[in-house]
Chains A and B, each alone.
Chain A
Amino acid sequence: MAVQVRSRISAFTVLKVLFLLAAVVATLYPLLYMLSISISDTTQVLLGKVGLIPKGVNLSMYRFVLRDQRIFTSYRNTIFYVLVGTALSLVVTAAAAFSLSKRRVVFHRFFTILVVVTMFFGGGMIPTYLTIRGLGMIDTIWAVLLPSAVSTYNLLVMRTFFDGFPKEIEESGQLDGLNDVGILTRLVLPSSQAVLASIGLFYAVSRWNAYFDPFLYLNTPDLFPLQIILRDILQAGQTNVVGGGDTLMVEESLRYTAVIVSILPIIVVYPFLQKYFVKGVMLGAVKG
């Protein structure tokens, strides 16, 4: 009897470890494959000889990609959109979330409904496009920065967090003569760094990855973010082999190198910031 129980448990253990290892391999395989192609000799890639193990390692593709003017400009644009956009989103979201967490404010219910309704109904692509056009924002940086400035979900998560801020501290701030703006900036925000980090990271990632708004609203290549250029590169013909100086230019190597270059910042910082992302989800789960 005892033997039977033990063997059943170990079979279960083996199964679960295999299952999880399979998940890990399935997740990593495509990424490692792209990395391997991107650092391999292009002739070997062309011959189809490169798999997970790179062959004839060289970084010529990276030199080529980083010298490409389009990639350089769009990379710079993306960094600008991420920095300015995330700062803007955080300021607007934090201010509004603090205000919405005070139930005593006039029109509190009205403003809350105003915000929540947009989670379930919107104007859709065409009316939104015409609105942006009507506001004169087509082909300007504002069309990238403003229409996605506030995420309702993030706003509600932050409001829930501010709800839990100790009332006594706010009251003592009032006694010290702080107005509501002072209470927010001097007392509440300094002790909310974790939630600001979480929400800020979510905003930053979605700005880094944004494709739809720039795709719809921008025409001038000088304003394009990285994702637009990346799409062009990824979509380019599958069979072209172009002579690029001394090295053979294989589209595949070029595509995967561009992908690696574009995800590198996220991959590098992600393991260190993961806990903030997870915390963000947990905060959201509290109230749902």
Chain B
Amino acid sequence: MTAASAHGVPGGPAHPLLRRIRKDRYLLLLLLPCVAFYVLFRYLPIWGILISFKDYKPFVGFSGSPWVGLKHYRNFFSVPEAWPLVRNTFLLGLYSILWSFPTPILFALVLNEVRDVRFKKTVQTITYMPHFLSMVIVTGMVISFLSPVRGPLNGLLKSLGRPEINFFADPKYFRTIYIASGVWQDTGWGAIIYLAALSGINPELYESAVIDGANKMRQIVSITLPMLIPTITMLLLLRVGNVLDVGFEKVYLLQNPVIYETADVLSTYVYRQGIRGAQYSFASAIGTFNSVVSLVILLLANFASRRLGETSLW
């Protein structure tokens, strides 16, 4: 009775829900700033998607602007850039998965074979580091290294007697540059999670494999990889679900108008039309199209993986 009255003060609210709120009031208080954050900076913008169905005019405001249905969505698909933008976004995402998804796995497998702890630690410390460099630095570095003016890569080409290449003036190099710099930056860091999974494998499995005469390759194929499958599926699922979430920052920092043919993606186009061109409704229709398709792909990927095996995001 005393314990109960400590929480439910006599004469307190009678309704059970109110009583529970009262009992948990400190926990709810702790949650309040976070909920305010999500409402203001995550859910108000989701609500704001409605402007893509309106003709938003800044001076009449959100509620004063007239509804126009799917006009902006239709308009987007009638501009000539629509298809190239979708293609570029999709291909950049797809090639990123193809190249930068397997490399950390390979890297972890090799690193896992190293017995010398100090060598292993040193390699890890060095290769994790680029992950912490900002996009501004990585892209600035790439542009500068590939520059026709004293860029070291063109210096190398010249010393080999090859003609120099202006990498940022020809659309055919953009995807390679984008993906290679991504591999450079995140291969080491991406390996951490696999190394953790690898360290959990029971060494007895390898010992008995050695007794059965299995060589290193055989051990990797028959023991190591199968043990990694759950981790790999999980991460692949997330990556596939994010295939259209090509980050704005890196593409924007690397692109220039000469190579828009391959280097312009939905998010950078949204930025130019929306923020710089102030066509808020049109631009947010494109952004919304992008997010909805992303979400559908994620749900499909999750559904497929649930069908094929046990792994699911939720």
A-side interface residues toward B, CB under 8 Å? 5, 8-9, 12, 16, 19-20, 23-24, 26-28, 30, 33-34, 45, 48, 51, 91-93, 95-96, 98-100, 102, 104-106, 111, 114-115, 118, 120-132, 134-135, 146-147, 149-150, 155, 179-181, 184, 205, 208-212, 216, 227, 230-231, 234-235, 238-239, 252, 255-256, 259, 262-263, 266-267, 270-271, 274, 277-278, 281-282, 285, 288
B254-269: CB near A (< 8 Å → 1, else 0) gives 0000000000000100
Residues of B within 8 A of A5 (CB): 215
**Alpha-carbon separation in the docked complex, A194 to B223 (Å):** 33
Task: State A114–B36 Cα separation when bound (angstroms).
Answer: 11
- Chain B interface residue count, CB cutoff 8 Å, equals 87
- Expressed in whole angstroms, the Cα–Cα distance for A90 and B110 within the complex equals 36
Which residues of chain A are near B305, meaning CB under 8 Å? none
Is the beta-carbon distance between A106 and B144 smaller than 8 angstroms?
Answer: no
**A150 partner residues in chain B, CB cutoff 8 A:** 34, 37-38
Shortest beta-carbon contacts, A-B, top 9? A123-B45, A127-B48, A96-B34, A234-B140, A124-B287, A209-B134, A180-B26, A126-B284, A95-B30
Residue in A124, A184, A231, A256 with the greatest tally of chain B CB atoms within 10 Å: A124
Interfacial chain B residues near A263, Cβ < 8 Å: 133, 137
Taking CB atoms, residues of chain A closer than 8 Å to B49 are 123-124, 127
Most buried by B among A51, A92, A102, A130: A130
Within the complex, the shortest CB–CB distance from B313 to chain A, in Å, comes to 8
Expressed in whole angstroms, the Cα–Cα distance for A24 and B130 within the complex equals 11
- The contact sample of 5 A-B pairs, CB cut-off 8 A, is A27-B126, A127-B287, A129-B274, A146-B37, A274-B124
Question: In the bound complex, what is the Cα–Cα distance between A270 and B130 (angstroms)?
Answer: 11
Cα distance, A103 to B119, chains bound together (Å): 45
Chain A interface main SS type = helix
CA distance in complex: A100, B275 (Å): 36
The answer to whether B137 and A262 have CB atoms under 8 Å apart is yes
Q: Chain B residue with minimal CB distance to A183?
A: B26
Q: How far does the Cβ of B183 sit from chain A's closest Cβ, in whole Å?
A: 10
CB distance from B51 to the nearest CB of A (A): 7
Kindly state the separation between the CA atoms of A45 and B134 in the bound complex, as whole angstroms.
25
- Counting residue pairs across A and B whose Cβ atoms lie within 8 Å, the total is 243
Say yes or no: is B196 at the interface (Cβ < 8 Å to chain A).
yes
For residue B135, which residue of chain A has the nearest CB? Answer: A211
Q: Does B68 contact A (CB under 8 A)?
A: no
Known: A120-B295, A125-B274. A266 touches B290 (CB 8 A): no
Inter-chain contacts of B136 with A (CB < 8 A) = 209, 211, 227, 230-231, 234
Using a CB-CB cutoff of 8 Å, which residues 5-44 of chain B contact chain A? 17, 20-21, 24, 26-31, 33-35, 37-38, 40-44
A286 closest partner in B (C-beta): B196
How distant is the Cα of A126 from the Cα of B274 in the complex, in angstroms?
A: 6
> Bound state CA distance, A244 and B175, in angstroms?
38
B67 at interface, CB cutoff 8 A: no
- Kindly list chain A residues whose C-beta atoms are within 8 Å of the C-beta of B126: 24, 27-28
Q: Which residues of B contact A51 (CB under 8 A)?
A: 152
